[in-house]
Amino acid sequence: MTRGVLDGLRVVELGQVLAGPFAGAIFADLGAEVIKVEKPDGGDDARQMGAAFRHGDALNFHEFNRGKKSVTLDLKSEAGVAALHGLLADADIMLHNLRPGVAETLGIGPDAVTARHPRLIYCAMAAFGHVGPEKLRPGYEPLLQAFGGLSSITGEPDGPPVRMGASVVDQGTGMWTVLGALAMLERRHRTGRGGVVNTSLLETAVMWAGQKISGYVNTGSVPPRHASGHPNLVPYQAFDAADAPILVCCGNDRLFTRFAAELGHPEWPSDARFNTNRARLTHQGELLPMIAAIMRAVPRAEWLARLQRIGVPCAPVNSIPDVLAEPQVQAMGMVNQVPGEDFSLVSMPLSFDGERPCMQGPAPRLGADNALVAKRAAE
C-alpha cells in the first residue's frame, strides 16, 4: 500500500457522526495514523445511523471512518481519561466534535489538555462556535444551513427555503479543521509548541454564504433565490431541452453572441435590451422565456454537441447514476474499492504528483485496537 503524504503523523479523534469523523477520514486517507476513541457502549452513533451495511455498521460509518483504528474508552471515568492522555502523549493532533461543554466537563477541554501536552494541536469543532451566547448550543447540518442563511438562498425564487442535498456544513467544517491543524503544525515546526484550533458549523455556513452576506452588508440588498440561475449573469442557468435539462453558462458577452447565433438569433447582441450582461439582467424576463422555448425543441445531446462545438460552457444536469457513467468521472478514478472489503467509496478529491491518495484500510470494528491503550501506557 502506498504511504500517504502524512505518514508518521498521529491523530486522536473523538468524533461522532460526520464533521469530526470526516476530518479524521481526511487525515487517514492522507496517511496519518488515526486512532478513533469511541464510547464502549455502541461506539460512534453513526454505526447505527442507517441499515446495517457491513459488519453490522451503517454505510455512512464506513464512508467517514475508513483507515482508522478504534479504541473504546469510558471518558467519564478517571481510568478512561488517563488512558486518553496516554494516547495523546505521542500524538500530534487531537480533534473532537463532542457536544459543547462536554470536553470541559470531562476534564479534557483545550486548556487542560494543552497544558499537559504543549506540543499537541487541539482541534475543537462546535455547532455555533466557541464564543457567544449560543456557544453551548448543539446543532446538526440542517439546523446550521437554516441558521447560517444557506437555506434562504437555495431553491426556486417563489418556493420555500431548501436544504442543500449534500452535508456541506458538516464536511466543510471537517475540511477547515484539517486546514487549521496543518497550519498549526507548520507553526509548531518553527516554534515547537502546539495550540488550539476552533471551528464550527456556523462559521462554515456563514463562509459558504459569504458572497451573499457581503452583498447585503455592502449594498443592503437581501439576496433572492435563483434556482439554477446566477444573480449577476444572464443567461447562466438550466433550461429544459426536449428530453432532459441542460445547464448553459454565458459568462460574458462574447459567449452570449455565440449562443444567440446558435439559437438562430444573431440579432440579439445588437438589441439594446440584450447587448450587454447588465442589459440582459434588466431584461431577463423578456429574454429567458424566448431562450427556453427554443431549447425545448431540441434533444439535450444535440444541444451539448452544438454548444461545445462553439465553445459555450454547458453541461447535462446529471443524476447520480449519470455522474458515474460519465467517461470523465471514470477517468478521474474517484470511486475505489476499500482495501480488504468488497465495496467501494469515494476517494479524496486531490492528487499528489498525479496520484490520488488511496484509502489506507476499512473502517474499524468497535474496539478492535484496544491493545494500543496498554501498549502506549507501557511506553
Q: 194: left (phi > 0), else alpha (psi -120 to 50), else beta?
A: beta
Catalytic residue, from 55, 117, 130, 230: name it.
230
Q: Which single residue is written with the C-alpha cell 494500543? A: 372
Other Cβ atoms less than 10 A from the Cβ of 264: the count is 9
Q: Indicate the helix (H) or strand (E) that contains 38.
A: strand 33-38
Instruction: Measure the CA–CA gap between 283 and 343, rounded to whole angstroms.
Output: 51
8 Å CB contact between 342 and 365:
no
8 Å CB contact between 234 and 287:
yes
Query: If you count them, how many residues does the chain have?
Result: 379
Angle at 203 between CA 197 and CA 206, to 5 degrees: 155
Other Cβ atoms less than 10 A from the Cβ of 278: the count is 11
Instruction: Measure the CA–CA gap between 344 and 62, rounded to whole angstroms.
Output: 10
**Phi, psi dihedrals of residue 309, rounded to the nearest 5°:** -60, -35
Instruction: Measure the CA–CA gap between 58 and 96, rounded to whole angstroms.
Output: 21
Instruction: Measure the CA–CA gap between 118 and 304, rounded to whole angstroms.
Output: 57
Q: Indicate the helix (H) or strand (E) that contains 293.
A: helix 284-295
Which residues face 58 on adjacent strands? 52
The residue among 335, 222, 234 whose CA lies nearest residue 284 is 234
Annotated catalytic residue 130 = no
Supply 242's cell numbers.
426536449
Instruction: Measure the CA–CA gap between 52 and 32, rounded to whole angstroms.
Output: 28
**Phi, psi dihedrals of residue 70, rounded to the nearest 5°:** -120, 130
Residues involved in catalysis: 230
